[in-house]
Amino acid sequence: MKSTGAAIALLAVSLSAGLTGSAFSQTPSQPRAGGANGANGSQPPSAANQGGGGDEQPEVRAPVLKVLSVEVLRSTHGTTLDIVRVRGLTSSQGWEEAELVPLTRGTPKDGMLELMFVARAPAEAMEATGFEPIEAIFPIEASHPFKGVNVHGATESVTLTQLPGYAEGKAAAEDCSKCVGKVFVAKGAPAPAGKTAADVVKEEQLPPLSRVIKHSDGIASAESNPNRLTLVLSKDGTISSAIWD
């Protein structure tokens, strides 16, 4: 889901409120697993007591599929801040509440602030309809000790070594929004006779973590991964389904 300007502003406020002197003092967010204990140590109300029923899907927070760019802007009005702005792509629609979670604690020897780009993923498998843009910001005091920023997505990271500054990641892979109905070609294999480039999907074009399930294959695990593209093939090798599961 695209982040709006209002959402970014709210995120900036919430992150700024959570900072106590430096970026690396912030505690990473943790996935919710049925809620946290109340302030008095009592157990949280059950889903039934909240009127939500017992079939609610747990929240899934996961790394964003791809980091497109990392930018650090320096504000000199009021409190001096460096603002890390990261743009990326999610695997599908339905991703929300993007944030940058610090992995760095203390002053790193290499001077790099390590961040992980995460968001709330859809609770169910999603059809491959194309990547969606998403972004988040992370303000840090200008007196910080960092010489650069390295932001990790699900498949790779993008490094910025000059502050303020801007760095871009690699081009995105095939989003498989038009894969269904095409012929899958395994890595290193030739395309079927009579098929043009527009008729086939090559394995090397797919995003990392992709899996291909042939008609005769078993499925060893039902573990879910919102950043894994799954292609299901028919008997003749044609792609019959493309989902992020």
Please write the tens of the pLDDT for every residue from 196-234. 999 999 999 999 999 999 999 999 988 999 999 999 999
Q: Taking residues 73-79, what's their average pLDDT?
A: 87
* Residue tagged 């095939």 (tokens): 174
Instruction: State yes or no: pLDDT of 132 exceeds 70.
Output: yes
**Per-residue confidence at 18, pLDDT binned at 50, 70, 90?**
very low
In terms of average pLDDT, the best of 21-35, 70-84, 152-166 is: 152-166
Instruction: State yes or no: pLDDT of 39 exceeds 90.
Output: no
d(CA 47, CA 33): 12
- Kindly report the three-state secondary structure assignment for every residue of 115-163: EEEEEEECCCCEECCCCEEEEEEEEEECCCCCCEEEEECCCCEEEECCC
**Per-residue confidence at 54, pLDDT binned at 50, 70, 90?**
low
Which residues does 125 contact at the CB level (< 8 Å), separation at least 6? 224, 243, 244, 245
**Per-residue confidence at 42, pLDDT binned at 50, 70, 90?**
very low
Higher per-residue pLDDT: 21 or 201: 201
Query: What is the predicted pLDDT for the residue at 58?
Result: 66
Higher per-residue pLDDT: 3 or 40: 3
d(CA 133, CA 93): 9
Give the global pTM: 0.75
* Residue tagged 């899958």 (tokens): 184
Q: Is 176 within 8 Å of 206 (Cβ atoms)?
A: yes
Lowest mean pLDDT among 39-48, 91-100, 207-216: 39-48
**Segments making up each domain of the chain, as ranges:** 5-26+57-168, 183-244
Task: Indicate the length of the chain as a whole number.
Answer: 245
Please write the tens of the pLDDT for every residue from 160-175. 999 999 999 999 999 9
Q: Could you count the other beta carbons within 10 Å of the beta carbon of residue 118?
A: 23
Higher per-residue pLDDT: 222 or 10: 222
In terms of average pLDDT, the best of 22-31, 53-62, 106-115 is: 106-115
Query: What is the predicted pLDDT for the residue at 123?
Result: 93
How much of the chain, in percent, has pLDDT values that exceed 90?
A: 71
153 φ, ψ (degrees, to nearest 5): -105, -165
Shortest CA distance to 118 belongs to which of 105, 139, 103? 103
